[in-house]
Structure 1
């Protein structure tokens, strides 16, 4: 079964360690070799600027776009997915596509022209914040739980016009509900789990999950152990509790996966890297109908993209 994974942090590692090779470097969770072994037909690569590397800048954003172009969509062998037309004629998942997302708009420096440049350069998903406040909105760990700034609302309006899609993983609860009113398209949570199962502050409440389901957005379950279990050693099997819960709320057709590989420092037993996806698929098939499993692994993600990825024909 083909897989679509909506979040990994390979690019920030490669920017920090320029000698990393995407093909098979042991310092990466996600490599070209493991994507092939895992049947991953679509991998979304996040542009994340760590505060440990200094003040976020647009130069660093551009640096990661160049890394993706040269080392992943270039010598790494992945095709760069940017337009709806690139999926429309595919009967099944293509063999090896990569997409770009921006995890936190800090590096855009409050400049909407930089957002436009990112879109022109192939970024298709925008996560407004990381965990804390920036010029656009509050993150989920910002204690005041504020929503969007005036400049942040201008950013959302620009996304509505341009076709840039929005991601609420890391956004504050107040920001989530404000974005529900502001966004003209269904948004996603690329790497978040169910708070009813694990009380991590980055996980989604039942009300948020039901809102995403109602708008036909997408929920990408993440593999970071602290998002999966409140205590104890977390295993791949523990994700089933989150799947069951999201489905109990009506989310069978909105569920997907966003591993957060290379953005995590601990791993689920039996799901340590994308090469383990076939074993995970077998686990899912032992508990759920095949049609549902195919949807969670890739079908739901691809159906969302076929509806909402911007069209080259209608490019502003």
Structure 2
């Protein structure tokens, strides 16, 4: 098999660690985690993005966010061969040295309550990508499951402006469609959809319409194909071939250079057959090589993400 590296722009390991701090990222004997250090090494991972997600039952304050960042430092960055990705040279060094890059994101900014000072503090703590809301509505925007389908609030617009100024990547994966277009209209930097698939292939509210996909392509954003079974195929009985249909569709719209992966490992209870953890992504790699060139497949797995981060992370 060809030599390759992998990148994954979304996993929920930090959420599981927040719920159960006794779990081990380095040696998960309980087999509770999808994403572990040994599996990432098996996958020859160049980058893993670790999302901070605060479950609905927890308080919407900075406290669980700070606890998650503490866990990120103690449980993940403390392991040898892992580099914190905050600026372009970090990912360059990571690739040169064959290390694993760890990028920190926030999935849902409810706890910030529109306070831009808190946003700036998260930037200082190393958060480099943020989804303004999760599936519901909050102070900044409506999410995809909010029935009214509203867009950005005035506080949400100020948030986008400050993220642009700081260089924090904005993630549209959980936004309502109106919030998506509002953000697209005002951002001065390319957007990412860290873990969303093609709505034309599987009609799920969390997937992107062709118009949204074309808009992300036009601004040279990134689209992370995700392994959430019900986002892959309607009945949730998904295999690798079903994931390929989303990749083919986005490439057919001209998105070959915007494709990446955002597994949502550890945020899902069921898995695509043959893609249950990072150590199995070679199944997808091998299947893609049957219909795309090695250069194209390597772009999907790492080069598109590498190019984007070396261009758009803050210097």
Query: After TM superposition, is the score higher than 0.5?
Result: yes
| 2:37 counterpart of 1:32 | yes
CA distance in 1, matches of 2:97, 2:177: 33
2:17 equivalent in structure 1: 14
**What per-residue deviation string (whole Å, max 9, x for no partner) do you get for residues 79-138 of structure 1?**
101111223466668421100000010122332111111100000001111001011110
Q: 1:301 to 1:109 in 2, by over 3 A?
A: same
CA distance in 1, matches of 2:172, 2:97: 25
**Cα RMSD after superposing both structures:** 1.3
Match of 2:228 among 221, 224, 235: 224
Match of 2:66 among 42, 62, 66: 62
Q: 1:226 to 1:73 in 2, by over 3 A?
A: same
CA distance in 2, matches of 1:189, 1:294: 19
Q: 1:185 to 1:232 in 2, by over 3 A?
A: closer
Match of 1:129 among 129, 133, 152: 133
**What per-residue deviation string (whole Å, max 9, x for no partner) do you get for residues 14-48 of structure 1?**
01001000013111000001000111110000000
What residue ranges of structure 2 are gaps of 5+ in the alignment? none
CA distance in 1, matches of 2:17, 2:122: 19
1:163 equivalent in structure 2: 167
Q: 1:40 to 1:28 in 2, by over 3 A?
A: same
| 2:44 counterpart of 1:44 | no
2:84 equivalent in structure 1: 80
* Superposition TM-score, scaled by structure 2 size: 0.95
CA distance in 2, matches of 1:105, 1:133: 11
| 2:215 counterpart of 1:215 | no
Question: How do residues 168-187 of structure 1 correspond to structure 2 at under 5 angstroms?
Answer: 168-187=172-191
* Superposition TM-score, scaled by structure 1 size: 0.95
Q: What secondary structure is seen at the aligned counterpart in 1 of 2:14?
A: helix
Corresponding residue pairs, total: 310
Residue 232 of structure 1: how far off its partner (Å):
5.6
**What per-residue deviation string (whole Å, max 9, x for no partner) do you get for residues 236-261 of structure 1?**
12111001100010000000000000
2:193 equivalent in structure 1: 189
Q: 1:232 to 1:160 in 2, by over 3 A?
A: closer
CA distance in 1, matches of 2:271, 2:212: 26
What residue ranges of structure 1 are gaps of 5+ in the alignment? 312-316
The structure 1 segments of at least 4 consecutive aligned residues displaced by more than 6 Å after TM superposition are none
CA distance in 2, matches of 1:76, 1:135: 39
Q: What secondary structure is seen at the aligned counterpart in 1 of 2:281?
A: helix
Answer yes or no: is the 8 Å Cα contact 1:6–1:44 preserved in 2: yes
Answer yes or no: is the 8 Å Cα contact 1:219–1:257 preserved in 2: yes
2:249 equivalent in structure 1: 245
